[in-house]
Amino acid sequence: MRDPCDRFALRYLAAVVCGLALLLFHGAADSGLPAAFVPQCASPWELSKLAFWPGLAAWVMTSRLGGARRPLLRDLPAAVLAPLTAAAADWALLAAGGRGTMGLAVWAAVLAASMAFCPDGEKHPVLWTALALALAGLYMLLTFTPPAWGPFLAPPG
Protein backbone atom coordinates (compact mmCIF):
# COMPACT_ATOMS: atom_id res chain seq x y z
CA MET A 1 0.00 0.00 0.00
CA ARG A 2 1.93 2.96 -1.22
CA ASP A 3 -0.72 5.63 -1.01
CA PRO A 4 -0.16 7.56 2.25
CA CYS A 5 -3.88 8.36 2.46
CA ASP A 6 -4.78 4.66 2.46
CA ARG A 7 -2.13 3.93 5.08
CA PHE A 8 -3.42 6.79 7.25
CA ALA A 9 -7.05 5.66 6.90
CA LEU A 10 -6.26 2.08 7.91
CA ARG A 11 -4.06 3.15 10.82
CA TYR A 12 -6.63 5.59 12.08
CA LEU A 13 -9.44 3.05 11.79
CA ALA A 14 -7.34 0.43 13.60
CA ALA A 15 -6.50 2.89 16.41
CA VAL A 16 -10.13 3.96 16.84
CA VAL A 17 -11.35 0.36 16.93
CA CYS A 18 -8.65 -0.56 19.47
CA GLY A 19 -9.53 2.50 21.57
CA LEU A 20 -13.22 1.67 21.54
CA ALA A 21 -12.41 -1.91 22.52
CA LEU A 22 -10.44 -0.58 25.50
CA LEU A 23 -13.45 1.50 26.51
CA LEU A 24 -15.62 -1.62 26.42
CA PHE A 25 -13.28 -3.29 28.92
CA HIS A 26 -13.49 -0.31 31.29
CA GLY A 27 -15.61 -2.10 33.87
CA ALA A 28 -13.84 -5.45 33.57
CA ALA A 29 -10.24 -4.29 33.99
CA ASP A 30 -10.20 -2.41 37.26
CA SER A 31 -7.21 -4.09 38.88
CA GLY A 32 -3.98 -5.77 37.97
CA LEU A 33 -1.95 -5.24 34.82
CA PRO A 34 -4.96 -4.81 32.45
CA ALA A 35 -5.98 -1.70 34.41
CA ALA A 36 -2.88 0.09 33.10
CA PHE A 37 -4.18 -0.23 29.54
CA VAL A 38 -7.82 0.75 30.18
CA PRO A 39 -9.02 4.19 31.35
CA GLN A 40 -10.11 3.86 34.96
CA CYS A 41 -12.03 7.15 35.13
CA ALA A 42 -12.81 10.15 32.93
CA SER A 43 -9.74 12.13 33.96
CA PRO A 44 -7.72 13.66 31.13
CA TRP A 45 -4.71 11.51 32.07
CA GLU A 46 -6.68 8.27 32.02
CA LEU A 47 -8.40 9.15 28.74
CA SER A 48 -5.00 9.81 27.19
CA LYS A 49 -4.42 6.04 27.37
CA LEU A 50 -6.82 5.87 24.41
CA ALA A 51 -4.23 7.66 22.30
CA PHE A 52 -1.15 5.79 23.53
CA TRP A 53 -1.97 2.08 23.63
CA PRO A 54 -4.31 1.90 20.60
CA GLY A 55 -1.93 4.10 18.62
CA LEU A 56 0.94 1.73 19.31
CA ALA A 57 -1.23 -1.27 18.44
CA ALA A 58 -2.36 0.32 15.17
CA TRP A 59 1.20 1.20 14.17
CA VAL A 60 2.38 -2.33 14.90
CA MET A 61 -0.56 -3.93 13.04
CA THR A 62 -0.06 -1.79 9.94
CA SER A 63 3.73 -1.63 9.80
CA ARG A 64 3.90 -4.11 6.91
CA LEU A 65 1.13 -2.73 4.73
CA GLY A 66 1.69 -3.39 1.05
CA GLY A 67 4.84 -5.39 1.70
CA ALA A 68 6.81 -2.29 2.66
CA ARG A 69 8.31 -2.45 6.12
CA ARG A 70 7.82 0.73 8.14
CA PRO A 71 9.64 0.56 11.46
CA LEU A 72 7.70 1.46 14.59
CA LEU A 73 10.51 3.85 15.46
CA ARG A 74 9.25 6.29 12.83
CA ASP A 75 5.91 6.53 14.65
CA LEU A 76 7.18 6.88 18.22
CA PRO A 77 6.89 10.69 18.23
CA ALA A 78 3.17 10.33 17.53
CA ALA A 79 2.87 7.71 20.27
CA VAL A 80 4.44 10.14 22.74
CA LEU A 81 2.97 13.45 21.60
CA ALA A 82 -0.63 12.34 20.94
CA PRO A 83 -1.50 11.22 24.49
CA LEU A 84 0.20 14.23 26.08
CA THR A 85 -1.60 16.59 23.71
CA ALA A 86 -4.91 14.82 24.29
CA ALA A 87 -4.49 15.06 28.08
CA ALA A 88 -3.62 18.77 27.89
CA ALA A 89 -6.51 19.52 25.52
CA ASP A 90 -8.99 17.57 27.66
CA TRP A 91 -7.78 19.33 30.78
CA ALA A 92 -8.11 22.74 29.09
CA LEU A 93 -11.58 21.81 27.84
CA LEU A 94 -12.69 20.83 31.35
CA ALA A 95 -11.16 23.99 32.83
CA ALA A 96 -13.14 26.07 30.32
CA GLY A 97 -16.37 24.43 31.48
CA GLY A 98 -16.64 21.69 28.87
CA ARG A 99 -18.16 18.31 29.53
CA GLY A 100 -16.16 15.14 30.05
CA THR A 101 -17.83 13.41 27.10
CA MET A 102 -16.26 15.96 24.76
CA GLY A 103 -12.93 14.31 25.62
CA LEU A 104 -13.68 11.56 23.11
CA ALA A 105 -13.96 14.13 20.32
CA VAL A 106 -10.64 15.60 21.41
CA TRP A 107 -9.16 12.09 21.45
CA ALA A 108 -10.34 11.37 17.90
CA ALA A 109 -9.01 14.68 16.56
CA VAL A 110 -5.63 14.43 18.31
CA LEU A 111 -5.19 10.83 17.19
CA ALA A 112 -5.89 11.77 13.56
CA ALA A 113 -3.55 14.75 13.70
CA SER A 114 -0.76 12.71 15.27
CA MET A 115 -0.99 10.06 12.59
CA ALA A 116 -1.02 12.61 9.79
CA PHE A 117 1.47 15.25 10.90
CA CYS A 118 3.89 13.87 13.48
CA PRO A 119 7.66 14.10 12.94
CA ASP A 120 9.77 11.12 11.95
CA GLY A 121 11.26 9.29 14.93
CA GLU A 122 14.29 8.04 13.03
CA LYS A 123 15.98 11.42 13.47
CA HIS A 124 16.36 11.01 17.25
CA PRO A 125 15.67 7.33 17.93
CA VAL A 126 17.10 7.15 21.45
CA LEU A 127 15.11 10.17 22.60
CA TRP A 128 11.76 8.95 21.26
CA THR A 129 12.31 5.41 22.51
CA ALA A 130 13.18 6.67 25.99
CA LEU A 131 10.15 8.99 26.04
CA ALA A 132 7.80 6.22 24.88
CA LEU A 133 9.13 3.83 27.54
CA ALA A 134 8.88 6.54 30.20
CA LEU A 135 5.29 7.28 29.23
CA ALA A 136 4.39 3.58 29.33
CA GLY A 137 5.99 3.35 32.77
CA LEU A 138 4.04 6.40 33.95
CA TYR A 139 0.80 4.81 32.78
CA MET A 140 1.68 1.69 34.75
CA LEU A 141 2.60 3.63 37.89
CA LEU A 142 -0.01 6.39 37.87
CA THR A 143 -2.89 4.02 37.22
CA PHE A 144 -2.50 2.63 40.71
CA THR A 145 -1.17 5.73 42.51
CA PRO A 146 -2.64 8.80 40.78
CA PRO A 147 -1.88 12.23 42.22
CA ALA A 148 -4.90 14.16 43.50
CA TRP A 149 -4.49 17.23 41.31
CA GLY A 150 -4.97 18.61 37.82
CA PRO A 151 -5.30 16.25 34.88
CA PHE A 152 -5.36 13.19 37.14
CA LEU A 153 -8.75 14.10 38.65
CA ALA A 154 -12.02 12.95 37.12
CA PRO A 155 -14.32 15.79 36.09
CA PRO A 156 -17.10 16.60 38.58
CA GLY A 157 -20.58 15.26 37.92
Q: Is residue 126 part of a domain?
A: yes
Q: Is residue 14 part of a domain?
A: yes
Q: Is residue 116 part of a domain?
A: yes
Mean per-residue pLDDT, 127-154: 89
Q: Which of 10-14, 60-64, 99-103, 137-141 has the lowest mean pLDDT?
A: 99-103
Question: Of residues 64 and 108, which shows the higher confidence score?
Answer: 108
CB 52 within 8 A of CB 83: yes
Segments forming the whole domain that contains residue 141: 4-147
CA distances from 90 to 39, 58, 69, 105, 153 (A): 14, 22, 34, 10, 12
Residue 3, pLDDT score: 60
Q: Is residue 44 part of a domain?
A: yes
Q: Is residue 154 part of a domain?
A: no
Residue 66, pLDDT score: 60
Residue 82, pLDDT score: 92
Sign of CA dihedral 114, 20, 71, 65: negative
CB 13 within 8 A of CB 111: no
Q: Is residue 60 part of a domain?
A: yes
- The pLDDT tens digits for 14-65 are 888 888 888 787 666 666 777 788 888 778 898 899 889 998 888 888 777 6
DSSP result, 60-101: HHTTTGGG----GGGGHHHHHHHHHHHHHHHHHHHHTT--GG
Q: Is residue 65 part of a domain?
A: yes
Mean per-residue pLDDT, 117-135: 88
CA dist., res. 28 & res. 30, Å (int): 6
Domain total for the chain? 1
Work out the pLDDT band at 69, boundaries 50, 70, 90. Answer: low
Q: Say yes or no to pLDDT of 134 above 80.
A: yes
Residue 95, pLDDT score: 83
CA dist., res. 1 & res. 75, Å (int): 17
